[in-house]
């Protein structure tokens, strides 16, 4: 099933949501590979556009255009108050077409609108704010994939099955066939054209770096993560791809480990629109490993999330380090025989602070590889609160 099938599903579902909650008005939604064109003649003054994108620079978006007298009236009458910060949906933008041009807002989780550049909050009536949150959540459900286990994924994607892969940032789509894999799916592009599209996703250079993807099979859209490096056995002749590459799902592991790969799991949850819930329930060890992986992947947005409570100067230093890295890897033992790393966080009980020391190998541009340790300091507010990285020393 081509991408257009998903576009139609988005349109029909979101028009239905809008009709149920925001009459009288007209609404439409599209899954596009570019920003909504607010100058379009069909877009009327007062139109509100909700847009979902996984990162600020993602070309792949889903949007919903709304013309609602109730919302427009509420915006005209709304009170405004100073707000230097806000708890927002990080992937939602709301654009309002007005006489003077387009005004952009962030949607707060409470349903209020926040103008980030002006540091001003627009206070909407509860009925309107709840409607905006419902519509935004409906659009997010259409934009992202389902978070399902590796065991369930194997049933949906058996060996020799053919399915499409859509990369979450570019929106580029190609077809693959699953050839093997017991810990994750080993797949190959179907044709030379599929190989060309896949390589385009990686800027025409094969790479082990993980990317968030949506898998489409049997009318299901599944959250997953892929790498972009041909390796291992071949099986499809004349596809221009020597070997296979790996696709991971929730809970799947690599060939070299009994445990889920931190970078793949971050990308799987990104593809599901669930990065923050994933981090909020992660152990200190997973957070520390994820931090190292995001340095290696040069993923600024994920690193900001992981290091949100680090001292600013410390986070800035890691951002600068990231730009000079050839690689940074945790030094892990071979595939386990029932053992975890020496950094064990399984018996923290009611503790509110903990420290982990991870061995790392760092290779910077024009410098020899160095081996050392990163010591992570963690803190949480209560035994039920999420862990947060407070400091990192080497």
> Do the domain assignments include residue 45?
yes
End-to-end alpha carbon distance in the chain? 50
Which helix H or strand E contains 382, and what residues bound it?
A: none
State how far the Cα of 187 lies from the Cα of 160, in Å rounded to an integer: 9
Please tell me whether residues 174 and 306 are part of one structural domain.
no
Give domain status of residue 286, yes or no: no
Residues 6+ apart with CB under 8 A from 389: 287, 288, 291, 306, 307, 309, 310, 376, 377, 378
Residues 17 and 138 placed together within one structural domain of the fold: yes
The verdict on residue 248 lying in a domain is yes
**309 with 195, same domain?**
no
Residue 66 counted as domain residue:
yes
Residue 90 lies in a domain: yes
Q: Are residues 100 and 171 in the same domain?
A: no
Do residue 323 and residue 387 come from a single domain?
A: yes
Residues 116 and 189 in one domain: no
- Look at residues 114, 143, 172 and tell me which one is the last residue of a structural domain: 143
DSSP 8-state class, residue 379: E
Q: 143, 164, 181: which is the final residue of a domain?
A: 143
Residues 25 and 57 in one domain: yes
Alpha carbon distance 140, 117 (integer Å) = 24
257 and 197 part of one domain? yes
In a domain, 287, yes or no: no
User: Are 167 and 268 members of one domain?
Assistant: yes
Is residue 315 within 8 Å of residue 390, measured between CB atoms? no
pLDDT of the chain along its 394 residues, tens only?
Answer: 333 344 433 433 343 334 333 332 222 333 333 333 333 444 455 789 999 999 989 999 999 999 888 888 898 889 999 999 999 999 999 998 877 788 999 999 999 999 999 999 999 999 999 999 999 999 999 999 999 999 999 989 999 999 999 999 999 999 999 998 888 999 999 999 999 999 999 999 999 999 999 999 878 899 999 999 999 877 788 899 999 999 999 999 876 667 889 999 999 999 999 999 999 999 999 999 999 999 999 999 999 999 999 999 999 999 999 999 999 999 876 554 444 444 556 678 899 999 999 999 999 999 999 999 999 999 999 999 999 999 999 8
Supply the range of the domain harboring residue 207. Answer: 149-281
What domain count does the chain have? Answer: 3
Domain closes at, from 143, 172, 204: 143
- Tell whether 23 and 135 lie within a shared domain: yes
Residue 268 is assigned to a structural domain of this protein: yes
Question: Any idea what the CATH number is for the domain that residue 185 is in?
Answer: 2.30.110
- How much is the pTM? 0.84
Compute how many other C-beta atoms are within 10 angstroms of the C-beta atom of residue 138: 21
- Domain co-membership, 197 together with 272: yes
The answer to whether residues 85 and 137 belong to one domain is yes
Report the alpha-carbon distance of residue 206 to residue 228 in Å, rounded. 5
């Amino acid at each position: 099933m081509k991408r257009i099938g998903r576009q139609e599903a988005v349109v029909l579902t979101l028009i239905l949501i809008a009709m149920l909650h925001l009459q009288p008005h007209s609404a439409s939604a599209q899954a596009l590979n570019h920003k909504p064109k607010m100058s379009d003649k069909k877009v009327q003054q007062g139109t509100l556009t909700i847009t979902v994108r996984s990162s600020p620079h993602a070309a792949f978006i889903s949007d919903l255009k709304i013309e609602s007298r109730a919302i427009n009236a509420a915006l005209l009458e709304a009170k405004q108050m100073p707000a230097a910060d806000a708890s927002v949906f990080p992937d939602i933008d709301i654009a309002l077409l007005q006489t003077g041009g387009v005004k952009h807002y962030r949607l707060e989780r409470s349903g209020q609108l926040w103008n980030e550049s002006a540091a001003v909050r627009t206070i909407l009536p509860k009925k309107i704010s709840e409607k905006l949150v419902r519509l935004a959540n409906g659009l997010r459900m259409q934009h992202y994939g389902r978070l399902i286990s590796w065991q369930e994924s194997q049933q949906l994607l058996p060996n020799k099955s053919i399915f499409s892969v859509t990369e979450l940032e570019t929106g580029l789509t190609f077809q693959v066939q699953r050839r093997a894999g017991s810990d994750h799916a080993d797949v190959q592009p179907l044709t030379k054209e599929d190989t060309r599209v896949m390589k385009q996703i990686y800027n025409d250079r094969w790479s082990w770096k993980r990317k968030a993807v949506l898998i489409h099979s049997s009318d299901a859209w599944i959250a997953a993560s892929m790498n972009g490096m041909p390796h291992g056995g071949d099986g499809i002749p004349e596809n221009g791809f020597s070997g296979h590459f790996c696709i991971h799902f929730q809970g799947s592991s690599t060939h070299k480990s009994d445990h889920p790969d931190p970078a793949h799991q971050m990308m799987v949850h990104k593809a599901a629109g669930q990065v923050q819930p994933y981090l909020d329930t992660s152990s200190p060890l997973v957070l520390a490993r994820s931090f190292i992986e995001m340095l290696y992947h040069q993923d600024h947005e994920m690193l900001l999330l992981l290091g949100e409570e680090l001292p600013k100067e410390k986070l800035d230093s890691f951002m600068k380090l990231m730009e000079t890295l050839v690689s940074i890897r945790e030094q892990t033992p071979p595939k386990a025989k029932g053992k975890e790393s020496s950094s064990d966080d399984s018996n923290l009980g009611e503790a509110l602070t903990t420290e982990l020391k991870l061995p790392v190998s760092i290779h910077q541009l024009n410098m020899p590889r160095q081996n050392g340790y990163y010591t992570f300091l963690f803190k949480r507010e209560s035994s039920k609160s999420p862990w947060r990285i407070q400091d990192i020393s080497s």
